[in-house]
């Protein structure tokens, strides 16, 4: 699975020689036979045959013939043979099959995946132990398990039983406290932006209160699950909750964008202003409506992309020329500058604002 650091490295890579090849292929064999995938691959490579280098095409063909294991539902490949550059990223989700060539890599499909699926930590906890799962890019994986001190049961009644029960409750509290500390480390290690908790209502109430306040605010929901729940069921139960929360998060992001833009200074909307801000490196979060495409005008001097025809670059004085696929250039600039890209569902508010906007760093 690709992470944000790797994406930023890809965004900063440029070719001064032969055009680089960016290829995305849907390899979900639950929906289509392998032979059809290979036919689609052949068609894609034929379409870029005049622009891609023979070495890059041959390397991709060899990879699918001899190396690819056909387990992932999608794959992204980037190749620049003359610079000995080769990257392969299996994807847990299907992707639209497409191929592109150019002096920059085509990263929009990856940014869309990363924007739609944040890192969710799923923690199952009871009074004795905890299990930790990471959900990312549509895939959930059990990462670790923590086991505290076993809580033995006392069969006799009377004062001794009451005293023993107090001891058990105290040990349970200690177990939960240690599990909370382990959760903090887990979320930090895996950079979880959201957390889902699973367990009994009583246990979860105690456990959540033990988490640091900075982590409590990232808890987006709870599930009634026990410690014997299979990873498959954890994934199924968590998936709907994650989809609902992601939809709510994106709606709030658009609302925040509109509010900041209306107040002035904190955000911009529309192609022209957003492209300008992106080139300055001021875009903290670039918000793009899903499916938005736009032509633009590229300055060969400083690589500024204007959304409108201009005769002189406002940054370096160069002469821009018209290009297709301007959105990919702007996305790359934002990522390269350390910003984040969010692809969101269509909304009336964003449509009226030009289908695009950016929340600013400063």
User: What is each CA distance from 345 to 102, 126, 327, 348, 355, in whole angstroms?
Assistant: 28, 38, 17, 10, 10
Q: Which two tokens stand for residue 217?
A: 């605010």
8 A C-beta contact, residue 92 and residue 141: no
Tell me the average pLDDT across 40-67.
Answer: 96
Q: Which two tokens stand for residue 130?
A: 């905890």
Beta strand pairing status for 283-289 and 356-360? antiparallel
Q: Which of 21-25, 218-222, 230-234 has the highest mean pLDDT?
A: 21-25
Nearest to 79 by CA among 159, 135, 19: 19
Q: Which residues of 8-23 are buried (b: 16+ CB within 10 A; e: fewer)?
A: eebbebebeebbbbbb
Which of 75-84, 230-239, 326-335 has the lowest average pLDDT? 230-239
pLDDT in tens, 209-228: 999 999 999 999 999 998 89
Nearest to 343 by CA among 96, 12, 110, 24: 110
Beta strand pairing status for 139-147 and 129-136? antiparallel
CA-atom Rg of the chain in angstroms: 25
- How far apart are the C-alpha atoms of 300 and 60, rounded to whole Å? 30
Domains of the chain: 4-116 (3.30.960.10), 120-229 (3.30.420.60), 250-360 (3.30.1330.30)
Does the structure show a pLDDT above 80 at 155?
Answer: no
8 A C-beta contact, residue 21 and residue 85: no
Q: How confident is the model at residue 179 (pLDDT cuts 50, 70, 90)?
A: very high
> Residues 6 or more apart from 31 whose CB is under 8 A from it?
94
Q: Which two tokens stand for residue 327?
A: 């959105």
Taking phi over 0 as left and psi of -120 to 50 as alpha, with beta for the rest, 201 belongs to alpha
Per-residue model confidence (pLDDT) at position 62: 97
Nearest to 183 by CA among 149, 143, 222, 211: 211
- How far apart are the C-alpha atoms of 119 and 314, rounded to whole Å? 39
Does the structure show a pLDDT above 50 at 154?
Answer: no
DSSP codes joined into one string, 103-120: SB---HHHHHHHHHS--E
Nearest to 118 by CA among 216, 192, 53: 192
- How far apart are the C-alpha atoms of 257 and 2, rounded to whole Å? 27
Does the structure show a pLDDT above 90 at 74?
Answer: yes
Quote the mean pLDDT of the chain: 90
Does the structure show a pLDDT above 90 at 239?
Answer: no
Per-residue model confidence (pLDDT) at position 171: 82
Tell me the average pLDDT across 39-44.
Answer: 97
């Amino acid at each position: 699975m690709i992470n944000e650091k790797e994406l930023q490295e890809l965004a900063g890579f440029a070719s001064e020689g032969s055009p680089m090849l960016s290829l995305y292929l849907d390899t979900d064999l639950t929906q289509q036979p392998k032979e059809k995938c290979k036919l689609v691959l052949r068609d894609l490579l034929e379409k870029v045959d005049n622009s891609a280098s023979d070495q890059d095409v041959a390397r991709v063909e060899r990879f699918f013939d001899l190396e690819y294991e056909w387990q992932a539902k999608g794959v992204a490949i980037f190749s620049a043979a003359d610079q000995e550059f080769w990257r392969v990223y299996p994807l847990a989700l299907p992707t639209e099959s497409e191929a592109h060539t150019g002096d920059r890599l085509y990263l929009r499909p990856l940014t869309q995946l990363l924007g739609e699926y944040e890192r969710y930590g799923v923690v199952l906890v009871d009074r004795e132990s905890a299990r930790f799962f990471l959900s990312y890019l549509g895939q959930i994986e059990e990462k670790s398990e923590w086991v505290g001190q076993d809580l033995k049961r006392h069969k006799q009644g009377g004062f001794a039983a009451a005293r023993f029960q107090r001891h058990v409750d105290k040990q349970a509290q200690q177990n939960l406290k240690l599990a909370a500390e382990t959760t903090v480390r887990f979320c930090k290690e895996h950079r979880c932006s959201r957390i889902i908790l699973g367990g009994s209502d009583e246990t979860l109430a105690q456990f959540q209160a033990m988490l640091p306040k900075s982590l409590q605010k990232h808890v987006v929901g709870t599930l009634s699950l026990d410690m014997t729940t299979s990873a498959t069921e954890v994934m199924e139960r968590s998936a709907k909750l994650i989809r609902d929360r992601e939809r709510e998060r994106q709606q709030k992001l658009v609302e925040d964008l509109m509010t900041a833009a209306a107040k002035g200074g904190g955000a911009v909307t529309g192609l022209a202003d957003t492209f300008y801000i992106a080139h300055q490196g001021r875009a903290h979060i670039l918000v793009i409506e899903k499916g938005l495409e736009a032509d633009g005008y590229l300055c060969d001097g400083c690589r500024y992309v204007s959304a409108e025809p201009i005769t002189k670059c406002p940054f370096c004085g160069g002469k821009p020329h018209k290009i297709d696929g301007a959105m990919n250039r702007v996305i790359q600039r934002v990522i390269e500058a350390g910003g984040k890209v969010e692809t969101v569902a269509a909304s009336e508010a964003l449509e009226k604002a030009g289908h695009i906007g950016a929340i600013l760093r400063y």
